[in-house]
Amino acid sequence: MYKMISLFNHKGGVSKTTTTFNLGWMLAEHGKRVVMIDADPQCNLTGLVLDYGKTDGLDEFYKKHPTQNIYSGLSAAFESRPEPIAAIKCLPVAGRDGLLLMPGHVNLTEYEVTLGIAQELTGSLPALKNLPGAIHYFISKIAEAEKADFVVVDMSPSLGAINQNLLMSSDAFLVPAAPDYFSVMAIDSLATVIPRWLEWARRAYGNEVFSTAAYPFPNPHVKFLGSVIQKYRPRKGTATEGFQTWIDAINDRIATRLFPALEKRGATFPEKIYATAGVGKATAYCLAQIPDFNTLIATSQSHQTPVFALEDSMFGHTGVVLEQDQKKRDDFRKIFELLATRVIALAENA
């Protein structure tokens, strides 16, 4: 049985896409079969996999494969077509066996308003009652067809109906954050928003309109995995003082606001489960702290390869500079190996 893990924060610029790609790749390195879902209409994950460097690459892909994306996959339900939702073949990610992508599409935003209306249904409207369960059904069909162990979802930075639906349909989620004032504000906001979404999802599951739909809304059981804090400047192996101040503030908000709000509504694991994975109250449920990739991110993107998987020949350097690149690569590998190990350990209980 696959596990669906979503990466969610309505604040932008916290490296959700990079984390999705790197985590998906590392899970595949651990022998898991992984499908990445690009649910962000900005399609950054799709662009990364298909090569950022080719300005016309995405245009060519959509012209040649107009139905091979999440927007097209959901169209049977959202455009009231007579055929049922079916799995769409995912794209294999070059260089990593066991890692696949369901491409995103800019037009996915067209379904936002309709889904929002459908999710507030209390009566029986045949044209809308199938929509709340459609996204989960589509993803489950993909996971089944691809024999996936994990589905990792890159979500957009918004509080819209699609994100609400995705998060409440997930088995678990993690919150990427950057060490700044706005991430602290975002954590405060999530402590209010996610419990409200949980209450909606439980009502929706118990609503006869949705339970008798062609695509029933699933029983919500999403669990909080933890946070991933990144994009800080390191010095001698730790964050500089300015960044550490914001890291501490984020950890405090998670420990004192977000986690208790989720725990109250059954969206967390027992403390012993976190402890087994090496996280918990002592670490403020932080799964990993990842320093800024700096110039290595451009190298990573140009080769569609995570920093930790770059080969020596990809750096384009020799001598001392190459040695520095190698050390950074190896440091990132340790971080993402630990992150993947923790995610696997926690997800087993989701």
Residue 307: half-sphere exposure toward Cβ, Cα within 13 Å: 25
What is the structure's pLDDT at 52? 61
Q: Which of 39, 276, 291 is nearest to 173 (CA)?
A: 39
What is the structure's pLDDT at 195? 98
The distance of Cα 242 from the centroid of its chain, to the nearest Å, equals 28
Query: How far, in Å, CA of 143 to CA of 36, rounded?
Result: 10
What is the structure's pLDDT at 236? 62
Q: Which residues of 173-193 are buried (b: 16+ CB within 10 A; e: fewer)?
A: bbbbbbbbeebbebbebbbeb
What is the structure's pLDDT at 139? 98
SS3 state at 18: helix
| CB distance 300 to 281 below 8 Å | no
| CB distance 156 to 41 below 8 Å | yes
Q: Distances in Å between the alpha carbon of 239 and those of 13, 227, 252, 267, 272? A: 18, 16, 17, 30, 29
How does DSSP assign 216-243, residue by residue? PPP----EEEEEEEEEE-EETTEE-HHH
What is the structure's pLDDT at 127? 73
Per-residue confidence in pLDDT tens, the chain, 350 aa: 999 999 999 998 888 999 999 999 999 999 999 999 999 999 999 999 987 655 566 788 898 999 999 999 999 999 988 899 999 999 999 999 999 999 999 999 999 999 999 998 765 566 789 999 999 999 999 999 999 999 999 999 999 999 999 999 999 999 999 999 999 999 999 999 999 999 999 999 999 888 889 999 999 999 999 999 986 566 666 666 678 898 999 999 999 999 999 999 999 999 999 999 999 999 999 999 988 877 788 899 888 999 999 999 998 888 998 998 899 899 999 999 999 999 999 999 98
Query: How far, in Å, CA of 5 to CA of 16, rounded?
Result: 12
Query: How far, in Å, CA of 114 to CA of 129, rounded?
Result: 11
The phi, psi pair for 98, rounded to 5°, reads: 85, 0
